[in-house]
């Protein structure tokens, strides 16, 4: 019985020893596997660190490049904006010049048209028969009223235009209560309106009539008639005031002049 018990104990010890041997082998294998795994992961970690370092370097490099390019972009955009502003300023200046030139041309054309209009009106005035308007006759009569005198109104012979204008003057003198004498037979080549006396005696009445003619816009000459001038009948007489309406002045196509 003792022998059997001892045998059992030996078997148990052997079994325990076998288990321990198995555990060592298994653990050894496991340790080897884990060591290899650790080595692999260490290698992977190293590579990861290398990649991380490269990535960090790449981030730094790319960040620096991005900042440099961004600065260059900003500078280029500023230069582009300045160039556009300069081009816009030049375009506006060109447009202003063109507008100014167009305005000058328009002003010149307007001025030319106005000159042509005035020239045409002046020509029409020169071509039109000379007559006094109602206003001119009324104004002249009002200016000559009071302290009236006598005057001889003369027109050129066989000249209806000269005669009509002389009749207008005669009417104005009559309205101002002046004594008038109409003579329609002057033989002359003279032109325009003349006012005066024989010998050029300048009386107060000569000045009054001259001022009245100027006031109503009638160009005239203050002249001295000669007693030997037999161009009218009766002849020019001393002490008599004459208003002589000669032939119509010739048409002047050049610069405007006062027509006598």
What tens digit of pLDDT does each residue of 135-153 get? 999 999 999 998 889 999 9
- Span 167-172, mean pLDDT? 98
Question: Is the alpha carbon torsion for 159, 164, 170, 172 positive or negative?
Answer: negative
Share of the chain above pLDDT 90, in %: 48
pLDDT one-digit tens code per residue, 14-59: 556 665 666 788 888 888 888 888 888 888 888 888 878 888 887 8
pLDDT one-digit tens code per residue, 63-108: 889 888 888 888 888 888 988 888 888 888 888 888 988 888 999 9
pLDDT one-digit tens code per residue, 1-17: 555 676 676 666 655 66
Share of the chain above pLDDT 70, in %: 88
Question: Is the alpha carbon torsion for 119, 213, 139, 179 positive or negative?
Answer: negative
Binned at pLDDT 50, 70 and 90, residue 123 comes out as: confident
Residue 185 CB neighbour total at 10 angstroms: 13
Q: How confident is the model at residue 255, as a pLDDT?
A: 54
Q: How far apart are CA 224 and CA 255, in angstroms?
A: 29
Nearest to 218 by CA among 240, 192, 180, 251: 192
Q: How confident is the model at residue 22, as a pLDDT?
A: 67
Of 22-36, 69-83, 175-189, 201-215, the least confident: 22-36
Q: How confident is the model at residue 152, as a pLDDT?
A: 98
- Span 160-164, mean pLDDT? 97
Alpha-carbon Rg for the chain in angstroms: 64
Q: Coil, strand, or helix at residue 217?
A: coil
Question: What pTM value is reported for the model?
Answer: 0.55
């Amino acid at each position: 019985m003792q022998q059997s018990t001892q045998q059992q104990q030996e078997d148990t010890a052997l079994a325990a020893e076998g288990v321990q041997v198995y555990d060592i082998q298994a653990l050894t294998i496991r340790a080897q596997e884990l060591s290899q795994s650790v080595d692999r992961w260490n290698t992977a970690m190293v590579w990861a660190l290398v990649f991380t370092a490269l990535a960090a370097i790449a981030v730094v490099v790319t960040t620096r490049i991005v900042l440099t390019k961004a600065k260059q972009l900003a500078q280029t955009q500023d230069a582009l904006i300045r160039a556009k502003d300069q081009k816009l300023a030049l375009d506006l200046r060109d447009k202003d010049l063109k507008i100014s030139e167009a305005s000058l041309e328009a002003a010149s054309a307007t001025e030319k048209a106005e000159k042509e209009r005035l020239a045409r009106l002046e020509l029409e005035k020169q071509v039109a028969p000379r007559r006094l308007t109602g206003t001119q006759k009324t104004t002249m009569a009002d200016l000559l009223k009071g302290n009236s005198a006598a005057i001889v109104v003369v027109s050129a012979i066989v000249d209806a235009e000269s005669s009509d204008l002389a009749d207008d003057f005669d009417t104005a003198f009559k309205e101002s209560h002046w004594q008038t004498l109409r003579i329609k037979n002057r033989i002359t080549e003279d032109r325009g309106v003349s006012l005066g006396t024989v010998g050029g005696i300048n009386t107060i009445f000569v000045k009054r009539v001259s001022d009245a003619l100027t006031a109503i816009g009638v160009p005239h000459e203050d002249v001295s008639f000669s007693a030997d001038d037999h161009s009218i009948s009766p002849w020019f007489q001393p002490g008599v005031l004459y208003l002589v309406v000669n032939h119509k002045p010739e048409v002047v196509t050049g610069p405007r002049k006062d027509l006598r």
